[in-house]
Amino acid sequence: MSAFSRFTPLIQSLPASVPFVGPEALERQHGRKIAARIGANESGFGPAPSVLLAIRQAAGDTWKYADPENHDLKQALARHLGTSPANIAIGEGIDGLLGQIVRLVVEAGAPVVTSLGGYPTFNYHVAGHGGRLVTVPYADDREDLEGLLAAVGRENAPLVYLANPDNPMGSWWPAERVVAFAQALPETTLLVLDEAYCETAPRDALPPIESLIDKPNVIRARTFSKAYGLAGARIGYTLSTPGTAQAFDKIRNHFGMSRIGVAAAIAALADQDYLKEVTLKIANSRQRIGRIAADSGLAPLPSATNFVAVDCGKDASYARAIVDRLMSDHGIFIRMPGVAPLNRCIRISTAPDAEMDLLAAALPEVIRSLAAT
């Protein structure tokens, strides 16, 4: 009997892969600790002190399962967003929710439209459920709304993915363009609008909640991983019509949330003063990354996220060399987009001044060393 005959043909056809090489793996590969963890778009500023207190208070109950209905978190989100708890579904970060959305919509061989070079975990879920990716190149470092719409029509696709603001480029579309895109889609096409970076975006980039909440073919996905500083807690949520939100109950892991994570998310929502403070720090750090890049002859791109994409002015090999040298020679972890022409860039996450100081010292040294080779 073949060692793999117990698996489905689909699973046998897929590579065993991790969409991202984690900083822990890099530490093992290089045999050194990371000095500046500025590559994974986490928040180096961390959660609010009030959230850390809530985590400590909830720790004693970690032996208990969390409420499978996520009642208290839904209520808190509904109050914060001005909507109904019935419009909200909770999941294990946006990554977990994306997998559930794909499972809800995609049958084997179904076309799924996304941007070439966009968030790879979405692609990972599509492949894992047997979908067929249809990709549209970026235009001027932004996701091409007209190109995505044309691909949906050409393929009669049941699902299209759009991140606004975008990962990996940090670019964004104004809210009115996003709403027009959603309204132009066929009713048979579900839009996944990934708004992971909504807290760091300008206000005019985010459609008002009421503008899309009644559209049954729109799901907005958000997270506590970025500005709220809770990436390791894995707390995400979606906004949609009640009927769409209720569909998650058919397939979700009803005990997938932790009591500590849920308590942290509720406390984070309650501390909006800290959110304002940390988003200001993120904005200041974006500006500093831009200065550090420009001082080394690189070109920072405009960003509405907690990272900055930096145009290195050459090809992917050069960008990769910068990424590798920063890690191997200085213990500084950053990342880069995966496909051309985006992979001419590197991507640097915002962080406190101590990490930025290390980057400011190391980046010009790396650029000089590459010029000498």
348 annotated as ligand-binding:
no
119 annotated as ligand-binding:
yes
115 annotated as ligand-binding:
no
d(CA 347, CA 168): 7
Backbone angles phi, psi at 91, to 5 degrees: -155, 180
Q: Please state, in angstroms and as integers, the Cα–Cα distance from residue 18 to each residue in 14, 125, 172, 203, following that order.
A: 12, 12, 27, 34
Pairing of β 190-194 and β 218-223: parallel
The type of residue at 155 is E
The type of residue at 116 is L
Alpha-helical segments (H) within the chain: 9-13, 23-30, 49-59, 71-81, 93-105, 120-128, 145-155, 175-184, 209-212, 242-247, 259-270, 272-295, 316-330, 353-371
94 annotated as ligand-binding:
yes
237 annotated as ligand-binding:
no
Binding-site residues for pyridoxal 5'-phosphate, please?
94-95, 119, 167, 197, 223, 225, 234
Binding-site residues, please?
94-95, 119, 167, 197, 223, 225, 234
